[in-house]
Amino acid sequence: MTAEAVRKAGSEGEERRRTRRVRWVAGGAVLLALVFAGVAAFASARGDGGSGVPAAGSADAGFARDMAVHHQQAVEMSFIIRDRTDDEDVRRLAYDIANTQANQRGMLLGWLDLWELPKVAPDGAGPMAWMGGDSEKHGDHAGHGGQGASAMPGMATKDELKRLGSLRGEEAEVFFLQLMTDHHLGGVSMAEACASRCAVPVEKRLARGMVEGQQSELGLMRDMLAARGAKPRT
């Protein structure tokens, strides 16, 4: 091998080593970025900059538990109306509600797991205990079947769900829109309470997003009811 060939081979070898070092550094930087992003998200959901977690009886935990249950009923009602009408606008609204609230419910339950907190209220406390006396002033949004002062606002009763499942066509559409209007009004009151009471930043942001999204849907449902010669019950 000539001296020129030796120099060329050495140069190519050094270039390959340099390329491997660059790739390793770049890969390491990406990995570190992902790690730091994960730590930041974890710390944000933990609250207090990652130094602690919400207490089981806190507004953060109470909202996560109660809104997960509240959202589950909205998803259930959306699936019921999907099979009771052929109206594309109502079916599209139901799909949007089910998709959005199922995803949000997953986040809320995930935070409870992250915080290692139970998904039921501690010490036998009923729903909405985290709102204290404020839950009573939202009683007008409770289900019309009379579920008592401890019921979550806006929740439909079992009889109302059964009736929804027995209706078809426009009658089902109107009843669904009325039930979901009550449900959204209750959900907005709960989310507003979390936005002012919760301490975990990411949960407060989610609550504010719920308020904005559900208020927008409330306007849409009022218009849809009016188009059917009906109006909200509350």
Most confident of 24-33, 116-125, 144-153, 158-167: 158-167
Per-residue pLDDT at 217? 98
Per-residue pLDDT at 41? 42
Task: Note the pLDDT tens digit of each residue in 94-105.
Answer: 999 999 999 999
- The CATH superfamily holding the domain 54-227 is Ferritin, core subunit, four-helix bundle (1.20.1260.10)
C-alpha to C-alpha distances, 158 to 68, 76, 193, nearest whole angstrom: 18, 12, 26
Tokens matching residue 116: 């290692």
Q: Domain ranges in the chain? A: 1-52, 54-227
Whether pLDDT at 214 is above 50: yes
Per-residue pLDDT at 210? 98
Per-residue pLDDT at 100? 98
The mean-pLDDT minimum among 37-41, 78-82, 131-135 falls in: 37-41
Task: Note the pLDDT tens digit of each residue in 130-159.
Answer: 987 665 554 444 444 444 334 799 999 999
Whether pLDDT at 45 is above 70: no
3-state secondary structure string across the chain: CCHHHHHHHHHHHHHHHHHHHHHHHHHHHHHHHHHHHHHHHHHHHHCHHHCCCCCCCCHHHHHHHHHHHHHHHHHHHHHHHHCCCCCHHHHHHHHHHHHHHHHHHHHHHHHHHHCCCCCCCHHHCCCCHHHHHHHHHHHHHCCCCCCCCCCCCCCCCHHHHHHHCCCCHHHHHHHHHHHHHHHHHHHHHHHHHHHHHCCCHHHHHHHHHHHHHHHHHHHHHHHHHHHCCCCCCC
Per-residue pLDDT at 3? 54
Give the residue with greater pLDDT, 200 vs 136: 200
Tokens matching residue 164: 């929804």
Whether pLDDT at 166 is above 50: yes
Distance CA 187, CA 128 (A): 12
Whether pLDDT at 82 is above 90: yes
Whether pLDDT at 28 is above 60: no
pLDDT band (50, 70, 90) for residue 127:
confident
Per-residue pLDDT at 6? 44
Per-residue pLDDT at 15? 55
Per-residue pLDDT at 68? 97
Average pLDDT score, the chain: 81
Tokens matching residue 132: 């204290």
pLDDT band (50, 70, 90) for residue 121:
confident
